[in-house]
Chains A and B, each alone.
Chain A
Amino acid sequence: MGDSQYSFSLTTFSPSGKLVQIEHALTAVGSGQTSLGIKAANGVVIATEKKLPSILVDEASVQKIQVLTPNIGVVYSGMGPDSRVLVRKSRKQAEQYHRLYKESIPVTQLVRETAAVMQEFTQSGAGRPMLGWLQTILDFNVKLKKTKLRALGNMSHKKTLLGVRPFGVSLLVAGFDDNGPQLYQVDPSGSYFSWKASAMGKNVSNAKTFLEKRYTDDMELDDAVHTAILTLKEGYMHLKLLFF
Chain B
Amino acid sequence: MSIFEYNGSALIAMVGKNCFAIASDRRFGVQLQTVATDFQKIYRIHDRVFLGLSGLATDAQTLYQRLVFRHKLYQLREERDMKPETFASLVSALLYEKRFGPYFCQPVIAGLGDEDKPFICTMDSIGAKELAKDFVVAGTASESLYGACEAMFKPDMEPEELFEIISQALLSSVDRDCLSGWGGHVYVVTPTEVKERILKGRMD
Residues of A within 8 A of B (CB): 99-103, 106, 108-109, 112
| B26-84 residues at the A interface, CB under 8 angstroms | 77-78, 83
CA distance A101 to B89 in the complex (A): 5
Main secondary structure, interface of B, reads helix
- Listed A/B pairs (17) with beta-carbon separation below 8 Å: A99-B93, A100-B89, A100-B90, A100-B93, A101-B86, A101-B89, A101-B90, A102-B85, A102-B86, A102-B89, A103-B83, A103-B85, A103-B86, A103-B89, A106-B78, A108-B78, A109-B77
Residue ID in chain B nearest A98 by CB atoms = B89
CB proximity of B202 to chain A, nearest CB, Å: 41
Q: Which residues of A contact B77 (CB under 8 A)?
A: 109, 112
Q: Which residues of B contact A100 (CB under 8 A)?
A: 89-90, 93
CA distance A109 to B77 in the complex (A): 8
Q: Which residues of A contact B86 (CB under 8 A)?
A: 101-103
Q: Which residues of A contact B83 (CB under 8 A)?
A: 103
Nearest 5 CB-CB pairs, A to B?
A102-B89, A101-B86, A100-B93, A103-B86, A101-B89
Selected contact of B78 from candidates A99, A102, A109, CB within 8 Å? A109
CA distance A106 to B83 in the complex (A): 14
Residue ID in chain A nearest B85 by CB atoms = A102
CA distance A100 to B83 in the complex (A): 13
Q: Which residues of B contact A99 (CB under 8 A)?
A: 93
Q: Which residues of B contact A102 (CB under 8 A)?
A: 85-86, 89
CB proximity of A71 to chain B, nearest CB, Å: 16
Q: Which residues of B contact A103 (CB under 8 A)?
A: 83, 85-86, 89
Residue ID in chain B nearest A112 by CB atoms = B77
CA distance A99 to B89 in the complex (A): 9
CA distance A113 to B93 in the complex (A): 21
Q: Which residues of B contact A109 (CB under 8 A)?
A: 77-78
Q: What would 8 more interface pairs be, CB under 8 Å, given A100-B93, A103-B83? A: A99-B93, A102-B85, A103-B85, A103-B86, A108-B78, A109-B77, A109-B78, A112-B77
CA distance A114 to B78 in the complex (A): 15
Residue ID in chain A nearest B129 by CB atoms = A102
CA distance A102 to B93 in the complex (A): 10
CB proximity of A69 to chain B, nearest CB, Å: 16
Residue ID in chain B nearest A103 by CB atoms = B86
CB proximity of A49 to chain B, nearest CB, Å: 35
